[in-house]
Amino acid sequence: MQKITTYLWFDDQAEEAAAFYTSLFKDSRVLHVQRHGEAGPGPAGTAMVVTFELAGQRFIALNGGPQFRFTEAISLYVECESQAEVDDLWARLTEGGEESHCGWLKDRYGLSWQLIPRGMEQLLSDPDPARSQRAMQAMLGMQKIDLQAMEAAANG
């Protein structure tokens, strides 16, 4: 059992968001939906709390109302196996959302994500400071990360 679970506050889209997120990643599924009863506080039968897994990581989503919104102060960091995975997830997560910079985006629910290709951190930590700085400069000009373009910049 996972000791710490990320708890996400949605207005009224928790069930929809969980279904969308679980469609994006292998080893993902909705585990449980707790619905409002006749006593409320929401309309009877609607989702109150949704427990789901993304790539084996447990999350809980609450339909808590419009009082709180997501900010960039928290994001979900996804280490992608390939540029193709970055491209696919970027296209799906930005649909109805918005692109940001340096691999960050907001999805249609306002949740921030970072889509990072495997190998980027090593490139930015290259022992040759000139190489790592050229890679960093390239990344700072990107919205979606393009690892090949960063490598080309690093190589001068």
In the chain, the N- to C-terminal Cα span, in Å, equals 47
Examine the pLDDT at 8 and tell me if it is beyond 90.
yes
68, 14 in Cβ contact below 8 A? Answer: no
| Residue 111, domain CATH | 3.10.180.10
Domain termination site, one of 13, 34, 68: 68
Backbone angles phi, psi at 45, to 5 degrees: 90, -15
Domain boundary among 18, 35, 68: 68
pLDDT reading at 91 higher than 90 = yes
Domain co-membership, 90 together with 155:
yes
102, 61: one domain: no
| Mean pLDDT for the stretch of residues 107-134 | 97
What band does 89 get if pLDDT is binned at 50, 70 and 90?
Answer: very high
Are 1 and 76 contained in the same domain?
no
What pLDDT shows up at residue 1? 79
Q: Is 64 in the same domain as 76?
A: no
Mean pLDDT, the chain, integer: 97
- Rounded Cα–Cα distance for residues 147 and 20 (Å): 27
pLDDT value of position 67: 96
Residue 86 and residue 150 in one domain: yes
